[in-house]
């Protein structure tokens, strides 16, 4: 019995040394980049950890905010202002930040997110996810964080977002003075002003 136990411990220790050795080798030779896609095993483990990190009574909570047109309108504006920088207005995650963080911002329209319970979505918005770029947005008591519950409704609405809603969101996205200047230059270019291309060319453009 004791021999078996020692064998087990030895195998575990060798396994851990091997894993650390492999990670060390990767770190000091090739380095890690946030640009890479997470390994499928890592995704599986991370999702399990996220799932387990949400207390069961919170997972099963239902949305206390009734779904209403005004709620969707309000949460659309909230999402455009706070979330779209990383997640994109359409929730695809196809933004300069969302595509380059590790792990990548998920496509919120797909089953991996839509299959989460309302309680899980709320928890993620309110508490964030450790070791990812997702911050904790909630302040104070979760029971009073109705804005995050409203966002849960909007996340459910993302797969059926209309073109008109996307256009509305674009007007609500936060913009830097530089971006406002660029938009004006793009407009002038479309109107036939070639000099506007030089103005717009000062940023990250072709």
- The contact set with another protein (CB under 8 A) reads 16, 19-20, 23, 32-35, 42, 45-46, 49, 90, 92, 94-97, 99-102, 130-133, 163, 166-167, 182, 186, 189-192, 194, 197-198, 200-201, 203-206
Place of tokens 């070791």: 131
* Cβ neighbourhood burial of 98 (10 Å; 0-12, 13-18, 19+): buried
Q: Note the maximum CA span of the chain.
A: 85
- Which is nearer to another protein, 146 or 184 (by Cβ)? 184
Quote the least distance from Cβ 155 to another protein, whole Å: 18
Going by C-beta distance under 8 Å and a sequence separation of 6 or more, which residues neighbour residue 200?
182, 185, 186, 189
- Which is nearer to another protein, 30 or 62 (by Cβ)? 30
Q: Return the H-helix or E-strand segment holding 71.
A: helix 69-82
- Which is nearer to another protein, 43 or 65 (by Cβ)? 43
As a whole number of angstroms, the distance between CA 7 and CA 12 comes to: 9
Quote the least distance from Cβ 67 to another protein, whole Å: 26
- Which is nearer to another protein, 90 or 147 (by Cβ)? 90
- Which is nearer to another protein, 92 or 145 (by Cβ)? 92
Quote the least distance from Cβ 172 to another protein, whole Å: 16
As a whole number of angstroms, the distance between CA 194 and CA 163 comes to: 30
Quote the least distance from Cβ 134 to another protein, whole Å: 10
Alpha-carbon distance values, 81 to 68, 86, 89, 168, 175 (Å): 20, 11, 9, 12, 10
Quote the least distance from Cβ 54 to another protein, whole Å: 16
Cβ contact 125:137 at 8 Å? yes
């Amino acid at each position: 019995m004791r021999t078996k136990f020692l064998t087990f411990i030895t195998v575990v220790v060798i396994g851990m040394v091997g894993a650390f050795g492999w990670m060390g080798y990767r770190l000091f030779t090739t380095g890690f980049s946030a640009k890479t896609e997470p390994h499928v095993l890592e995704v599986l483990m991370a999702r399990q950890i996220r799932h387990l990190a949400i207390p069961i009574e919170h997972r099963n909570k239902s949305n206390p905010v009734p779904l209403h047109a005004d709620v969707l309108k309000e949460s659309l504006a909230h999402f455009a202002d706070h979330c779209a920088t990383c997640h994109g207005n359409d929730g695809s995650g196809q933004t300069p930040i969302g595509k380059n963080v590790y792990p990548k911002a998920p496509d919120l329209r797909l089953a991996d997110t839509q299959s989460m319970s309302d309680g899980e979505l709320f928890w993620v918005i309110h508490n964030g996810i450790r070791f990812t770029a997702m911050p904790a947005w909630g302040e104070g008591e979760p029971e009073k964080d109705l804005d995050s519950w409203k966002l849960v409704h909007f996340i459910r609405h993302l797969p059926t977002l209309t073109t008109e809603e996307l256009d509305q969101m674009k007007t609500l996205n936060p913009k830097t003075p530089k971006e406002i200047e660029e938009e004006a230059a793009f407009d002038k270019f479309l109107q036939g002003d070639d000099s506007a291309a030089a103005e717009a060319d000062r940023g990250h453009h072709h």
